Amino acid sequence: MPNTKKTPKNIRSKGRPRCFDRDKALFAALEVFWQRGYEPASISELCKAMGINAPSLYATFGNKAKLFLEAATFYEETYWDAPGKKFMAEPDIYKAIGDFFAESARILLSPDTPCGCMVVLAAVNISEDAQEIADAIRQLRLATKDMFAARIRQGIEDGQLPQDTDVASMAGAFNAMLEGLSIQARDGLSQSQLEKVAQYAIHILPDKIV
Amino acid sequence: MPNTKKTPKNIRSKGRPRCFDRDKALFAALEVFWQRGYEPASISELCKAMGINAPSLYATFGNKAKLFLEAATFYEETYWDAPGKKFMAEPDIYKAIGDFFAESARILLSPDTPCGCMVVLAAVNISEDAQEIADAIRQLRLATKDMFAARIRQGIEDGQLPQDTDVASMAGAFNAMLEGLSIQARDGLSQSQLEKVAQYAIHILPDKIV
DNA sequence: AGATTTTTGTAGCATCTGCCACAAAATTAT
DNA sequence: ATAATTTTGTGGCAGATGCTACAAAAATCT
């Protein structure tokens, strides 16, 4: 039975040791999926980027779908966990939104990675027999919207937003803004331009009463 | 030489007449591309939807790429030409934005068509050897942003917006909002929810001085 | 040393893809 | 009628896809 365990590698007792780094291979796969999307990323391209052959890929990650989902989770943890926590922890909701969208613009156009958010862009054009992939990634997008909603509710509780704020709609507006930024990032906007666009997210909040 | 002409059909003199309606077939293809995206829409599925066989498709439309581009043009003309013209003609920019985004939400979730905008969603995950498709569709997205920019400039000229308005950034913000709406439309938001979200686009404008 | 276990690379499977060759069919021109 | 022209459906090509069978290789366990 092949060893599909993640880091730290399980305590092996017998067998030929794996001769590549599972995490590095996962990250290489992530970059391919991120840039191309789920279906255009072929197993052969993935193998090339990961520096392994197909049987090693399948023994280690199961299949293409599982590899993609693991890469997506890895992506979220690596790039969005910290900004998300900071966003939830910042007590001033105006600063929370401003900072989060500023940092988002930076992440979406980081020179070291593909442009735009993998969760938004990598599973849009999906054939019928891979809907499980589309559904799983959609859940991640909905989780982001839920994060916005939770922070808005906190803002209401803190007296920074009106009691009658329509939480779902406002969360949807922030989510639309963020998702739209990904598309513009991929469409070639400059980092400085994207940051300026992102700052319009603050306007979704009611005017701050100083 | 096959007849690839569009409607009205060119004056035929000889040859077996085509036994399907070119425009209806194009519309059927549009719906498949719209729902699935460029690459997941297979020739066989397109043929089934269009009610013709592959040789007829190729004789009439050239190849898959040309069919897609023609469908995309047809899409824009059919669904967005009128709202765009109304948007540009409305003298009050606040009403122009409000009406345009309200109507957009309706179009993006029309019960008779796939959810979301074809221009935003149908050419996201594209393999390397079909970049011409991605580029062409990107141009359509940029044209929408240019439309926003032109309307904003008009608003400045009309004294409805400050002289120092950053046109490019504000146009980018409207564009991000609109593109984000497409993703949320596909993610299952209800029509009434999407309309509420869309109305936050007005907040991108400075507060109206009544 | 020998048995056991796991990973490795080669090589190839079945299936799907976009596309087209070909001949029969259906029309108009002479 | 016959020739000319265009569209039709059948059938299939070359190449790519996700995935796997298989045996050699490399480690540990007894």
Hey, are the CB atoms on B125 and A38 less than 8 Å from each other? Answer: yes
pLDDT value of position B10: 57
Q: Is the CB of A12 under 7 A from strand C?
A: yes
User: Residues for chain A: how many in total?
Assistant: 210
Using pLDDT thresholds of 50, 70 and 90, give the confidence band for residue A8.
low
Helices marked H in chain A: 22-36, 43-50, 54-61, 64-79, 81-89, 93-108, 118-121, 131-157, 167-186, 191-198
Hey, are the CB atoms on A124 and B127 less than 8 Å from each other? Answer: no
pLDDT value of position B210: 64
The phi and psi torsions of B14 (rounded to 5 degrees) equal -130, 175
Q: What is the pLDDT of residues A174-193, one digit of tens each?
A: 999 999 999 999 999 999 99
With distances taken from each CA to the C1' atom of nucleotide C10, the closest residue turns out to be A53
Distance separating alpha carbons of residues B165 and B51, to the nearest angstrom: 52
Helix, coil or strand: residue A210: coil
Query: Of the candidates B3, B210, B163, B101, which has an alpha carbon nearest to the alpha carbon of residue A176?
Result: B101
**Average pLDDT estimate for A67-77:** 98
Q: Which residues of A touch B180 (CB under 8 A)?
A: 175-180
How many angstroms is C1' of D10 away from CA of B41? Answer: 23
Tokens of A173: 């507006």
pLDDT value of position A148: 99
**Average pLDDT estimate for A144-173:** 98
How many angstroms is C1' of D15 away from CA of A147? Answer: 46
pLDDT value of position A3: 82
Kindly tell me if the per-residue pLDDT of A98 is higher than 90.
yes
Tokens of B92: 């009050």
Question: What is the interface size between A and B, counted as CB pairs within 8 Å?
Answer: 131
Cα B157 to Cα A187, B161, B172, B201: the distances in Å are 29, 8, 19, 21
Hey, are the CB atoms on B36 and A125 less than 8 Å from each other? Answer: yes
| Nucleic acid strand D: bases within 7 A of protein CB | 4-12, 16-22, 25-29
Distance separating alpha carbons of residues B57 and B11, to the nearest angstrom: 20
pLDDT value of position B4: 79
**Average pLDDT estimate for A14-35:** 96
pLDDT value of position B6: 66
Cα A12 to Cα A3, A52, A129, A178: the distances in Å are 9, 21, 36, 44
Hey, are the CB atoms on B200 and A38 less than 8 Å from each other? Answer: no
Cα B96 to Cα A201, B77, B86, B91, B92: the distances in Å are 20, 20, 8, 7, 6
- pLDDT beneath 50, residues of chain B: none
Q: Is the CB of B12 under 7 A from strand C?
A: yes
The average confidence (pLDDT) of chain A is 95
Amino acid identity of residue A108, one-letter, is: L
Q: Is the CB of A11 under 7 A from strand C?
A: no
Q: Is B184 on the interface with A (CB under 8 A)?
A: yes
Residue of A nearest to B205 (CA): A203
* Chain A closest-CA separation from residue B53 CA (Å): 21
Closest-approach nucleotide to residue B1, Cα vs C1'? D6
Query: Would you put residue A32 in left (φ > 0), alpha (ψ -120 to 50) or beta?
Result: alpha
Q: What residues have CB less than 8 Å from A205, skipping those under 6 apart? A: A93, A94, A97, A161, A170
Kindly tell me if the per-residue pLDDT of A10 is higher than 80.
no
ipTM (interface predicted TM): 0.95
How many angstroms is C1' of C24 away from CA of B12? Answer: 21
CA-derived radius of gyration, chain A: 20
pLDDT value of position A14: 85
pTM: 0.96
Hey, are the CB atoms on A172 and B193 less than 8 Å from each other? Answer: yes
Distance separating alpha carbons of residues A120 and A182, to the nearest angstrom: 7
Using pLDDT thresholds of 50, 70 and 90, give the confidence band for residue A95.
very high
Per the CB < 8 A criterion, the answer to whether A195 and A108 are in contact is no
Nearest CB to B177; choose among A121, A180, A189 = A180
Q: Which residues of A touch B181 (CB under 8 A)?
A: 176
Q: What is the pLDDT of residues B37-72, one digit of tens each?
A: 999 999 999 999 999 999 999 999 999 999 999 999
Nearest CB to B40; choose among A39, A172, A196 = A39
pLDDT value of position A5: 67
Task: Point out the least confidently predicted range of A36-50, A67-81, B10-24.
Answer: B10-24
